[in-house]
Amino acid sequence: MFAPSLLTIALVSVGGAYAVISSSQTAQAADAGQVAIDEGNKLYLTGCSSCHGMQAQGSANGPTLLGVGAASVHFQVATGRMPLAAPGAQAMAKEPQYTADETAQLAAYVASLAPGPAIPTAEQLNYEDADIAQGGVLFRVNCAQCHQAAGQGGALTYGKYAPSLMKATPQELYEAMVSGPQSMPVFSNGTLPVEEKQAIIAYVSELQDAPNPGGLSLGRLGPVTEGLFLWTAVFAALIGAAVWIGIKAR
C-alpha cells in the first residue's frame, strides 16, 4: 500500500533534488559566462571602443564587431593584429597584447552581442585523419593565388598582402577561414566543409614541417631568389675562378 506512494516520494525528491542541483550548475556556468562577458566588456571599453565604438557598432576608424564572432576576435587578438599598432594598409601580426584569458573574455563579450563563427573545438581542429593530398588540391584552388603555393605569402594591391602561413597555428588557420580577416574571403562551412578545412590545415602543417630535399630552400620564393643567388653567389664564384686562372699565367 505504501510502496507506490513511497516510490512517488522517492522519485519526486530525487527528481526535485536533481532539478535544484542541475539548475544551480547551469546558473553557475551562466554566471561564469556572464563574468567572462563582463570582464570582456571592461577590456573592450578600455582597449577597443575608441575605434570600434562603445557598443561595438563601429566608427569611422574601425568596422562594427556585431556578428564577427568569437573566432574572429580570437584570431585578431591572439596574433597581435588587434589592437592595431598604427593605421595602415593592413593590420600586421605582432606580439599579442592580451593574455590568453583576456583574449577569451574579449571573444566572449563580442560573441554575446550577436551570433557569429565560434572558436573551433578541439574536435574541429583535429586533422590527424585528414587527407593531405586532397588538402593540397584545395590549397592550390582556394589559397595559393594569394598565399603562394608554398604558403610564403604574397603581395596584394596598395600595400596589402597575404601573410606567410609558416608560423600559423591550426586554430589560427581555421579561424581565418571562418572569419575572413582583412582582405581574405570567408570560407564558410557551406563553401568549405569542416573536413576540407582540416585537410587544408593538414597540408599547411605539412608545408611548415616539410624538409627541403633539394638543399638550401632560398626562402621557397621561386625564380626571383634563384636568379638573385645565381647573379650574386654563383657568378662571383665563376668570375672569381676566371680571374684566378687569368692571373696565374702572368
Partner 1 sequence: MSEPSTIEKAGGGVATYVDQRVGSNKFLARNLGKVFPDHWSFMLGEIALYSFIVVLITGTFLTFFYKPSMIEVVYDGSYVPLKGILMSEAYASSLDISFDIRGGLLIRQMHHWAALIFIAAMAVHMFRVFFTGAFRKPREFNWLIGVVLVTLGLIAGFSGYSLPDDLLSGTGLQITRGIAQAIPVIGTWATFLLFDGQFPGSDFISRLYSVHILLVPGLILALVTVHLMLVWTQKHTQFPGPGRTNENVVGYPLMPVYMAKAGGFFFIVFGIIALIGGMVTINPIWIFGPFMPDQVSAGSQPDWYMGFLDGALRMMPNWETNLFDWWTISWNILIPAVIVPGILFTGLALYPFIEAWVTGDKKEHHLLDRPRNNPTRTGFGVMAITFYGLLWIGGGNDIIATSFDLTINSITWFLRIAIFVIPPIMFVVTRRICLGLQRRDRDKLLHGYESGRILRLPHGEFIEVHEPISIKDKAVIMSKTDITPLPAPERRDSAGVRNKRYHLQNVQHKLSGFFYAENIAKPSAAEIEAAEHHVAHEVALEAPLHAYEDADQINTFHGGVLHHPGMPQTNAEQLAERAQH
Q: Which of 149, 184, 186, 192 binds partner 1 (CB under 8 A)?
A: 149
Stretch that binds partner 1, among 4-12, 22-30, 68-76, 208-216 (CB under 8 A): 208-216
Q: Which residues pair with 59 in a beta bridge?
A: 62
Binding mask 75-94 for partner 1 (x = CB under 8 A): --------------x-----
Cβ burial, residue 12 (10 Å; 0-12/13-18/19+): exposed
Please, which residue, 35 or 89, has the CB nearer to partner 1? 89
Give the DSSP per-residue string, 43-84. HHHHHTHHHH-TTS--BTTB---TT-HHHHHHHHHHTT-SS-
Please, which residue, 12 or 239, has the CB nearer to partner 1? 239
Q: What is the largest CA-CA distance in the chain?
A: 126
Contact 64, 58 (CB under 8 A): yes
Q: DSSP state, 249?
A: T
Q: Does 120 bind partner 1 (CB under 8 A)?
A: no
Please, which residue, 48 or 162, has the CB nearer to partner 1? 162
Q: Is 151 in a helix, a strand, or coil?
A: coil
Q: Does 154 bind partner 1 (CB under 8 A)?
A: yes
Q: Does 245 bind partner 1 (CB under 8 A)?
A: yes
Q: Which residues bind partner 1 (CB under 8 A)?
A: 89, 132-133, 136-137, 140-141, 144-150, 152-159, 161-162, 203, 206-207, 210, 212-218, 220-227, 229-231, 234-235, 237-239, 241-243, 245-247, 249-250
